[in-house]
Every structure is written in C-alpha cells, then in structure tokens.
Amino acid sequence: MSLFARGSARAREHFDWPLFLGVMGIAIIGVVNLYSATSPYIDDPRRAGLADMYVQQVYWLVVGGLFGTLAAVVDYRSIERLAYVLYGFGIASLVLVLVLRSEIRGSSRWIDLGRFAFQPSEFMKVFVVLAVARKLAEDPRTEAKTLIDLAPAAFLFALPAVLVMLQPDFGTSMIYAACGGTMLALTRLRRSSLVVFVTGLLPVVWSMWHFGLREYQRDRILSFLHPEADRTGIGWHALQSRTAIGNGGLWGEGFREGTQNQFGFLPDQFSDFPFSVFAEDWGFIGCLALLALYAFVCAWAVNIASLAKDRFGAAVAVGVGAMFFWHTFFNIGMTIGILPVVGITLPLFSYGGSSTLTTMVGFGLLMNISLRR
Amino acid sequence: MKLFMQRSDVGDFRRRYHFMVLGVLVAFVMLTARLAQLQIIQAPSHRTQARRNVVGRVTLATTRGVIRDAQGVVLAANRPSYDIYVVPGLLDMQETWPRLVQLMGLGVTQAKELAAKILAVRAEDGKRKLQQMLLEVDVSRDVVAALETHASDLPGVDVVPTPVRYYPYGEVASHLLGYMREIDAETLAEHEGQNYRAGDRLGAVGVERRWESYLRGQRGWQKVVRGANRHAQRPGLAERYLEEPRRLEPIPGRDIVLSVDIELEKVIQKELRPALAGAVVVVDVRSGRVLAAVSKPAFDPNVLSGGEGKQAIRDAFDRLSRDPLKPLLDKTTSAVYPPGSTYKPFSALAALADGLIEPNSDVDCRGGYEYGRRFFRCTEVHRKVNLYEAIVQSCNTYFYALGELIQIDQLAKVGMDFGFGIKTGIGVNPESRGRMPTRAWYARRYKGDGFRGGFTLLASIGQGATAVTVMQLALAYAALANDGTLYQPQVVRSIETSSGLTVQEFPPRVRRVIDVDPTQLALIKQALRGVVSDPRGTAHAEAIPGVDVAGKTGTAQVSHVTPRSVDAKHEWYFNRDHAWFAGYAPALAPEIAIVVLIEHGGGGGKNAAPVAMRVVDAWQKLEKRRVASHDTADSKKAGASL
C-alpha cells in the first residue's frame, strides 16, 4: 500500500510526459498506418481477417501498455535482482524453440501455446538488456577496460545471438549484438584492445558469412546489392518498396491512396514494410515528421540514461534506447534500400504481438528509470 | 533541467552520451538524405514505375472479314471452337477424371488412351505436367455447358474458346477461297510488329491469302488497372490512373464480296461427280468476272484451318500431299494442259489473218496427213472438209494442212493475242503461264536449231509443246464470244466494311482489244455453234434443247508420264486422254464462257461436253429464277409505294 502511495506521488512529480507522448504519437500513427496497409483486403471476403489487423494491434498495445505499466511501477532495483533469472528463463525458451521446431516460414521462431503463439526471441531482447546492464553495473571500475573485462557481458548477448541464429533468424541475432554492443560502448575500452577487437572481428565476420549464414540469408544480402538482378524473388520486395517510397514523392499519394500498397505490390506490408506504406501515403514531409519522432524517442532514452541515478539504470536506458534505435534504423534502412532485407520489425509500426509487448515493456523500463532518477 | 548530466557514480558512462545522441542524429540524417533522394530527386521515375505496375494494356481481338459470294451468301466466316485442356499435374485421376470422362461422354477406349497419356506426362519430371495439355478440340455446346456448370468440381480442367475460320460449304470452291494456317517463325519475323503474333492464323492460299491484309483487321487495346494479384484491387481508385486515350477500338477486317456464284459452284461440283479429277471455269464474257472456278479433287478448308484440331491438320496434309490426283493443286490456274482441239479456232484465225486459207476451199481427209516421212493421224476419214466442217467435225487433217502453210511464230502470235502463254493476272493462286511454242523456244529447248516443221502441225491442233491453263482458255473463248475483248479474270467484286458499306469496287479490266477481222471471227463463231447444233457436230449428241451453246470439244493426248506414287494397276488411267469442252452461251448473244476439263476423261465430246451443257442449263435456270424473284421484289416495292 505504501509502495503504491509513494509510487503515485512520484508519478505525479516525475512522470515522463515527453517519453509518453512520443511513444503514444508513434503508436497512434502506427495503428492508422496499419489500417492503410491492410485496407486493400477490406472488400476481399477471403482475406477480410487481415483488414482487422489494426484492431488487433490496438489490443496488443493495450496489453503491452499494462505490461509496460507493470515494468514501470516495480522498482527497477528489484528487476535488477531478477535479471539473471529472467535471462536464464529466456535462454531456456530459445532452446525449447529449437527443440520444438514448429516450422513457420522456413524457420522456427515460435512457441505454440494453443490459442497463443509467442516468439521468445522477442522477449529475450529485454532480458538481454537487463542481464548485460546488471553485468556492467556489477563492475564499478571506471578506468579503461580490456576485452577480457568485457568478455562476460559480451557472452551474455552472444549466447542468445547464436541460439537465434540457429533458428535461423539473422535479423534478431543482429539486434542482440547491436544492442549489447551499444551498451558495452558505454564503458571505455583501452586503445590497444580496440585494435585487437577490430582486427579480430574481420575473420569472425568472414567465417560468419561462409558458415554461419544459410543460403537464403546470403541471397537476401546479395540481392540487396543488385535488386534488379532478381526481379521476382527477394530483390523484387526491395525494388517494390523503393518504388513505393519514391512514388510518395514530396507530399505523398494520400491516406489509403498509395497504389503500390493498394494494388498489392508491397509484400509483407504489415510486418516488414509498413514504413513503405507510410512513405507512399504521406510522402517526404510525412516521413520527416515520423523520423523526427523516432529520433526524439531514441535521444530521449539517452537523456533518461544520463539522468539515471545508478549504472544499472543508465545501462538499461541505453539498452532499451539501442533496441528501439537499431530496429528503426535497420527496418527503415532496408525499406529504402540502403540495407539488406533481413526481416527486422519497425517498433510500433509493424504488426505483431510479441514485438509490440516487448517494445512496450521496454518503454515501461525507461519510464521506471525516469521516475526513479 | 540539464540534459545528459550524470548525477551519481557512473562517471565513465558520462562521456558516451553525447556520442550516442550524435550517432542517433547522424543515422537519422542518413535515412532522411536517402528519403530525399528517393522521394524528391528520383520521385518522377518511381512514380512512372508505380503507374506502370498498375496500368496495363490488354489486347482487344479483332474479327476476320467475311467472304461472300455475288449473291451475298457467306462462304467463309468465324466461329468459336471450344477446346478442352487439362493440366496433368493438377488433375485428380481418382475423383475429377471419371467425372470429366462422363461429362464429355468419352468412349471407354478413348478414355483409357487419354488417361494413359495424362499419366505419362504426370510421370515426367519437367514443367510439362503443369502446362495445359489439349484433350479434345471443338466439343459441342452441350459439353461446354455441362463443364461450365461443374467447373468448381473440375480442378485442372479448362475450356478455352478459340476463334476458328468456318467454311459452310466445305469443299465447294475451296481452292478459290483457300484456308488458314498458323503463322510460322519466318513469316512472323518478316511481319514483326505488323499486327502479327506467334500463334496467329493467316490466309494460306486462295482469296484468304491474297486478300489477307484486308480480311485480317487490326487489333485494339484497352488500358486496365490491375493488381499484383487478383485479390488486390481497390475499386474506384483505379479510374484516375488511366490516362487518355484509354482504348483503341479494334478494327474488324474488311468483308470480301466475290464474283463467284456458290449455287453454280455446287452445280458444277455435282456434275463433276463421276470424274476423278478435272477443272471447270465459268466467266462472264462481258466483264471477265469469274462466276465459278472448280478444281477437283478438292480439300475441306475447315479441317486445314484447324477446325478439328492440330492433329487433324497434319493428318489431312499427309493424305492430300500423297494423293496422285493432287487435291491441293488449283487446276484452274496452277496447272497446264495441252488444249487439243479446243485450240483449233485460234489456229484457224491465225491462218485466216495471214490469208493462208480460204474458208470455202476443201481439204481431203483420208484419215491423216503425210508430212515428210511421218503420217499424222486424224480421228477418222472425213473426206472433203472446208473450214466450217473441219471445226464442226474436228478434223485434224485440215489443220495439219494448215500447219504446213503457217509459220509457228504466227500461230504463237495470235495465241498470245488471246492471252495464251501469259499469266491472266487473276491473282488468287499461283499462276502458270502455259506455253506458246515459237522457233526461239524450240531453239532454247533443243540447244540450237532443233526445229522441225512437224512441230507446227502438232501446234495447230493444240498438241505438241502447246500448254494452256483452264483459266486462259476460258478467257480466250470469252474473247471470241465478245468479239475480241480480252479481260483480266476477276474473282473479287468489291470490298465492304463489316457494317456493309462498300469501300472499293473493282470494275472490269480489259487486258487488250484483239485486232481480229469481224468477218473471219464470225466464220469461226458460226462453226463453234455448229459443233453443238449441226448434226455432224462433235457435241451435237449432248445438246440440250433450249440450251444454245457454241463451243469446241477437245481430246488431248497426254505424254506418257505417270506420277511416281501411282501403282502399276492404276497406270492406264494416267495414260488416258484429257477430255475438254470450251465454249460460250447463249451462242448468239453470249453472256458466259465455260471450259470443262476432265483429266484423263477420254473423248471430249462424250465426257466433257455433257457436263458443260448441264452447267449452262443450270446457269440459265438460276438466272431465270433470280430475275423472277427480282421482279416480284420490285413489283412488291412498287405496290407498296402505291
């Protein structure tokens, strides 16, 4: 009782309105855009279910909001104590996925619980952030670090990255690595270690390319370099996305007017390419506004980190911010053709229960840290 | 509130925040720059591509023009053929196949054969099992209706309508009309971009071929909005992307109206029934228009045009090309024959023009004529004959004597005046020139001066090297009938639009006015009339009362060349004489000229003349009937206006 009383008082005093409004703004635009993305199916009796996707997404946002509130009100120091337990649970789920192998689209990412299926690799993103943050917080030394010093923290995100790669899900694996790497970048690295790290990275990348990636993953990456060479396969997706965005022009075709989407030329328009739908409908001006919102939320996460009262809080804030940032950057990058198509969702824009819940829980943590600064 | 100020024990983190925010900004500026490139700089080309994705063109088919006869009867038209296709890889042999067999009403053995075929394709590895396989062509409307009703229960079965040329009269006038064939790669390359595509059909021979460019018509197109798949279509949004012009109407092919009379063709077809092979041409002597042109044996253009499927085309060609009677050959223009005695009027005119013979002086026929060391035979002993009698009784001796007097070049000159040895210019099927032998020709033929006087004797009775087409002979007799005007034979009377407006009419074309002495011509015409009306005449026995025909019979010897494909027991047929009758009617006021050739038919008087008589009789009756119906129509009209 007293906990909640104290909580509500703090909430009134420290409630992070900029974060809340930024997130709400993107979420609302995201739902509206999802409506446009799936609107071609409204009159199609066979696929009418797809047209109701935006309603479903609102449910997920509400559920995500509840989980996020929970993540915000519990003192994050209790969460810090639970970090490794959650992490262990996440690793176990990832192993379970590999064992169960319920095949969806050529890779196994889901755990099927009858009515619900969920993607442990999504929730794992938050658990990785928490675990790495705790590891960083456990080492209070402020001088420059060696690679050995950072190895345990690196292991914490490398392990799930490998497990997810086995599914195989190259995109999510990359997100773990990018988030973990960003968090590690909070600490200082010795110059000599940096050199060793960079030279060591090259053979790792090389062997990853040859042995770590599946054929179709390599195809995806290569087809990004020459989308015209593969007009019917993956290159086609990238090409049509680019055409859609370009077709938006300065002012856009208008809400539900983008022909690339309305006539079915955008594949995966509700999961991988919702940004292309938005860019076609609203044009460069709309994109500018949307990107400003995304950039603001990313920067605001760093601000929250800078205001956090301890290392764990700061690291979690940076981790969540990095998660949000890398998703955004990779997804938009692939839709506009500067990055390969790897199937990374756009937070609050792509349809999906697991990813929406994860994102909302992440923002709950940010709010938590902001409240307790 | 100060941004990015760490308040507690996280000193080493503090210096990183600025870099991170900078990193975020740089990343978003990059994204923005790329967006600016796509949405501002490259926007027009992406817009173009997006429109091209959505707006497509569909071809609008055109219809081939109809061919009609002089009375407006349709001789060649179009109809849909409903062909059944199956996709072997998608066909359920347990469920769908028995149902299909039942709906199509296939026989047990046929069904078994087809099932074996389908299973064979299914067993293959390649793409073929996912491609349509033709099961049956041109199924009945009942079957089409049954299949359409059960379409949802028949996955992998398709009914495809394809336009097929349709010739309601089948074999009648088939050489004249021609048939359609699928365009081959060579022709396609030649006509690249000119309204032809792979799989198109075009006229192969006859009027279908010569008037192809008129009959064909022009395809149209229409812009349509289309989604990437058939689910993605948003009604209403479509319209604004269709720029003008949205549609180019197809232009239907022109209709061709022939001078031919299909009723007359049918009569000739019937009269030729006893003959194995031959040709008949009827022309209007006042215009050169072809009223009928029959070549026997004929072919069914419906089959050759694909009306019964591709296999039927192959089978038919296989059969037709091996037939020693040459059904694919148009015997009215593409083949040459020795004219025999039908040529005698022209020999006589040549001799008269040079003043070599006196019409009333006699030649004593004792069954032949001695020339050099050879004896040239006549058909019988005619005793004393003058010109009139020589033509009426077809005495060869008289003409041998004439041949000794005349120069072969003079014979050829008059022959060529009447159009022999030169293409008539009918322009339907490939035409032979025929041959009017001259000294120069013999010199070329026998390398040096191989000419003998006997050649002229043979030429004057239409034998030897002389060769004519049936069409040439008909036009020459027409020229006799009309007192010296040689017309170009015409098959097409006019061109009309599909709505019946006349686009172009073809007036008669005179090739030449022959310089012939009217009194001499009158003598010949009198003799030609005598051939039928004089009791001594070679065709007198075949005369039909009330049918006033003038003409000449002919029995042309053939050089003993039997086609290779003929087996020995049929050889006698190919050594028999050709039977001819060439003439015009009515004898005193000629309207039509007619030539009947019965290949290896024997004597002309007995075999060709009766056919000619009956055809002329039928023609007269047709004319009378038409005039009568015309009159009643006129009087009705007059009555109505009163």
Measured CA angle at B336 (ends B330, B339), to 5 deg: 125
Question: Strand, coil or helix: what is B458?
Answer: helix
Same domain, B133 and B32: no
pLDDT score of A260 more than 60: yes
**Within a domain: B64:** no
Same domain, B154 and B33: no
**Within a domain: B345:** yes
Q: What value does the mean pLDDT take over residues B309-327?
A: 90
Q: Which domain, by its residues, includes A283? A: 2-371
Chain B's closest residue to A338, CA to CA, is B34
**A246 touching chain B per CB within 8 A:** yes
Q: Report which residue type is found at B433.
A: R
Distance in angstroms (rounded) separating the CA atoms of residues B485 and B627:
27
Same domain, B35 and B84: no
**Within a domain: B236:** no
pLDDT score of B55 more than 60: yes
Model confidence pTM above 0.80: no
**Within a domain: B171:** no
**Within a domain: B633:** no
Q: Which domain, by its residues, includes B160? A: 80-166
For residue A246, the chain B residues in CB contact (below 8 A) are: 38-39, 42-43, 45-47, 49-50
**Within a domain: B588:** yes
Partner-chain contact B28 A291, CB within 8 Å: yes
pLDDT digits (tens, 9 = 90+) for B204-240: 999 999 999 999 988 888 887 777 655 555 666 667 7
At A224, the pLDDT band (50, 70, 90 cuts) reads low
For residue B225, the chain A residues in CB contact (below 8 A) are: 263
Question: What is the domain count for chain B?
Answer: 3
Distance in angstroms (rounded) separating the CA atoms of residues A63 and A131:
24
State residue A124's pLDDT score. 94
pLDDT digits (tens, 9 = 90+) for B107-153: 888 889 888 888 888 877 666 777 778 888 788 888 888 888 887 77
For residue B6, the chain A residues in CB contact (below 8 A) are: 306-308, 314
Radius of gyration (Cα) for chain A, nearest Å? Answer: 21
Q: Which residues, at least 6 apart from A151, have a Cβ–Cβ distance to it below 8 Å?
A: none
State residue B337's pLDDT score. 95
pLDDT score of A230 more than 70: no
Nearest to B7 among A307, A311, A325 (CB): A307
Partner-chain contact B11 A247, CB within 8 Å: no
Same domain, B412 and B356: yes
Nearest to B39 among A248, A260, A373 (CB): A248
At B83, the pLDDT band (50, 70, 90 cuts) reads confident
State residue B364's pLDDT score. 92
CA terminus-to-terminus distance, chain A: 22
The minimum CA-CA distance between A115 and chain B, rounded to whole Å, is 28
* Burial environment of residue B484 by CB neighbours within 10 A (0 to 12, 13 to 18, 19 or more): middle
Same domain, B553 and B460: yes
At A324, the pLDDT band (50, 70, 90 cuts) reads very high
CATH number, residue B413: 3.40.710.10
At B642, the pLDDT band (50, 70, 90 cuts) reads very low
State residue A223's pLDDT score. 67
State residue B2's pLDDT score. 45
Same domain, B3 and B110: no
| Of A212-221, B183-192, B393-402, highest mean pLDDT | B393-402
Interface A-B: count of C-beta contacts within 8 A = 173
User: Which DSSP state fits A301?
Assistant: H
Q: Report which residue type is found at A16.
A: D
State residue B106's pLDDT score. 84
pLDDT digits (tens, 9 = 90+) for A164-173: 988 878 889 9
Distance in angstroms (rounded) separating the CA atoms of residues B613 and B285:
17
pLDDT score of B467 more than 90: yes
Q: Which long-range contacts (CB under 8 A, 24 or more apart) does B566-574 make?
A: B566/B324, B570/B324, B573/B276, B573/B600, B574/B324, B574/B600
State residue A6's pLDDT score. 56
The minimum CA-CA distance between B132 and chain A, rounded to whole Å, is 23
Structure tokens at B452: 């003998």
State residue B629's pLDDT score. 82
